[in-house]
Amino acid sequence: MKRTLSVMRKETQHILRSPGTFVLVVISPLLLLLIMSLMFSIDIRGAPIAVMDYDHSSLSRSYISGLISSGEVSLYCYAENYDEIEELFFDGEVRAAVVIPPGFEEELLRQTGAQIQIIGDGTEPISATFALSHIRTFSQNFALELMGSAGSTQRPVNLSIRAWYNPDLEPKVGFIPGLIAIVMALPAVAVAGAVVKEREQGTMEMLIATPLRGRELLLGKLPPYIAAGLLNVVLATMVAVFWFGVPFAGNFPLYLLLALVFFVAAFGIALLISTFLKRQMVAILLALLVFLFPSFFLSGLMTPVSSMSTEMQIVANLFPATHLVTISRGIFLKGVGLDVLWPNAAILLVIGLVTIGLAIWRFRKRLA
């Protein structure tokens, strides 16, 4: 019994003294529970929409007021033209747009079938489908109530429903570009494992004995993994386009450049993780915990980041995958350029520089 208690005491001390083991055993279950609970409690109601009202009548204003008061969608702004709507879609500010043409009130009152155009952002099929469905149902009910009071049995409203960038609202078209961003974090897991493996096998001490400086040792490990990551981007893009039929509307060299910035951020986090750990398996598991699970739920892959609370949006933007999801969908489906995506690139660059700097500082501290 005493020997058993001695082993128990030893393992307890190991858990408490090893940061990686402590996180995996004590912190990670609570963290995953929190993240998944918040994910499944996200409400996609209140999706932001734009309205382009060419009629400017009392009935069009009543229609807009009723649509927004339902709470299922929220009015982000009034647009003046289609170019403005496209810009709002490019920036990810709205999920749908409603266009009320001239003569809306007159056609409703004459019972000739008023025209309404509804446009959805097909890059996020789940939220776009929800918004389009609600707008369609409300539009029909609004016209039916108005015309029903006059005893009409004619079709009350003619809806023109379109989805830009993904006309059929196919889930795979919006999902696969974002999924590429998630799986591209896996090379970072390998980086964390490789650095810790050097220490675990004792080869780190041999390298330290050479004229290599700490930063040269850490930074020297990155280029091969960056090259492998960029190769993965090329292969994943080919699979998405030629196997799954996902359109690629943007600039591929720009996509590679922004993927490079993403890898700088992801590998910086991986290097920082590796400076706290001594065992490769713990490093790999912790890196998976950091890169894969939160990124899958918080990156905007399933539901828009804008649907999350302010606190969760801040947390989500700390993960590199969140920004690569935006970049991938923007370049794949919308064909946007650096003029739209530069904020995401800037955040990734800051994350990379800060984490690499901290990793080098931590490594020097360990050597000292």
269 found inside a domain: yes
More confident residue, 1 or 158: 158
In terms of domains, do 157 and 175 share one?
no
Residues 233 and 294 in one domain: yes
Better-predicted residue by pLDDT, 284 or 151: 284
- Residues 334 and 165: beta-carbon distance below 8 Å: yes
pLDDT one-digit tens code per residue, 133-188:
888 888 888 888 876 655 454 556 788 888 888 888 888 888 889 888 888 888 88
Whether the per-residue pLDDT at 218 is higher than 90: the answer is: no
The more confidently predicted of residues 331 and 226 is: 331
Q: What is the pLDDT of residue 288?
A: 78
The answer, yes or no, to whether residue 73 has pLDDT greater than 90, is: no
**205 and 308 together in one domain:** yes
The number of distinct structural domains making up the chain is: 2
129 and 202 housed in the same domain: no
252 & 362 share domain: yes
173-187 pLDDT, tens digit each: 888 898 888 888 888
Same domain, 54 and 157: yes
Residue 286 structure tokens: 């912790």
Do 67 and 153 share a domain, yes or no? yes
Convert the pLDDT of each residue in 322-334 to its tens digit.
Answer: 999 999 999 999 9
> What is the reported pLDDT for 266?
92
- Per-residue pLDDT, 46: 74
pLDDT at 23: 57
Check pLDDT > 60 for residue 310. yes
Contacts (Cβ under 8 Å, ≥6 apart) of 301 = 175, 178, 179, 181, 182, 295, 325
Lowest mean pLDDT among 83-87, 223-227, 351-355: 223-227
Residue 115 lies in a domain: yes
Looking at residue 281, its amino acid is M
Any domain includes 29:
no
Same-domain status, 141 and 222: no
Confidence label for 257 from pLDDT (cuts 50, 70 and 90): very high
- What's the domain range around 113? 47-164
Domain annotation covers residue 187: yes
Confidence of residue 207 (pLDDT cuts 50, 70, 90): low
Domain at 146, CATH number: 3.40.1710.10
Of the residues 133, 164, 195, which one is the last residue of a structural domain? Answer: 164
In whole angstroms, give the CA distance from residue 200 to residue 128.
Answer: 49
Compute, in degrees rounded to 10, the torsion defined by CA atoms 257, 263, 266, 272: -120
85-106: per-residue pLDDT in tens? 999 888 888 889 999 999 888 8
- What per-residue confidence (pLDDT) applies to 206? 60
Please answer whether residues 254 and 337 qualify as being in contact, where contact means their C-beta atoms are separated by less than 8 angstroms.
Answer: yes
Interval 18-32: pLDDT, tens: 665 565 555 656 655
| Domain C-terminal end among 145, 164, 183 | 164
More confident residue, 249 or 279: 249
Assigned domain for 10 exists: no
| Structural domain contains residue 254 | yes
Predicted pLDDT at 345 = 95
Q: Which residues contact 365 (CB under 8 A, 6 or more apart)?
A: none
Boundary-marking domain end, from 138, 164, 190: 164
pLDDT score at 347: 96
- Tell me whether residue 41 is in a domain: no
Q: Is the pLDDT of residue 341 over 90?
A: yes
Same domain, 228 and 90: no
Asked if 179 and 155 sit in the same domain, the reply is: no
Mean pLDDT of the chain: 80
pLDDT number for residue 8: 61
**Taking CA 11 as the corner, what is the angle to CA 6 and CA 12, rounded to the nearest 5 degrees?**
95
Q: What gap in Å lies between CA 65 and CA 366, rounded to an integer?
A: 62
Give yes or no: residues 221 and 271 share one domain: yes
Does 217 lie in the same domain as 355? yes
311/209: higher pLDDT: 311
